[in-house]
Amino acid sequence: MLAVTRHRLPAGEADGFAAVARTAVEALAARPGFRSARVGRALEEPTLWVVMQEWDDVGSYRRALSARDVRVASMPMYVSAVAEPTAYELTLGFDGPGAGRPGREATAD
C-alpha cells in the first residue's frame, strides 16, 4: 500500500520542511507494517513537497497514524498537507537499475 501526501508551504517555511518530515517519518518508521518512505521537493515549484510511504497494508498505515506518539511527531508535517486522497493500492511495481542512485539516504548495515 502506498501513502502519498503533497505539502504546500509558504515560501519562508519551505526550506525547513525536510527536518519536519524527517521527524514525522522516523516516528512512522517505528510502527509495524512500515516499509519505506521518500521525501521530495518539486523542482519547478520549491514550495511543494511530497512524502511517499510504503506500508504492508492500509490497516498498518491507519493504525500508525492513530498512535499518539506518531500524531505528536507528525502533526507539524501534516498541517501543510494538501486535502486529497492519500492511500493507494499498489497494482504494479518495477525496480530498475537506478535503485542505488545518489540522493537516497543510506541505511547502516
How confident is the model over 89-93, as a mean pLDDT?
91
DSSP 42-84: -SS-TTEEEEEEEES-HHHHHHHHHSHHHHHHHHHHHTTB-SS
pLDDT at 25 > cutoff 70: yes
The pLDDT of residue 94: 87
pTM: 0.85
For the chain, the domains span 2-88
Task: Using DSSP, state whether 1 is helix, strand or coil.
Answer: coil
Average pLDDT of every residue of the chain:
91
pLDDT digits (tens, 9 = 90+) for 70-88: 999 999 999 999 999 999 9
Instruction: Kindly indicate the confidence band of residue 106, based on its pLDDT and cuts at 50, 70 and 90.
Output: very low
How is domain 2-88 classified at the architecture level of CATH?
2-Layer Sandwich (3.30)
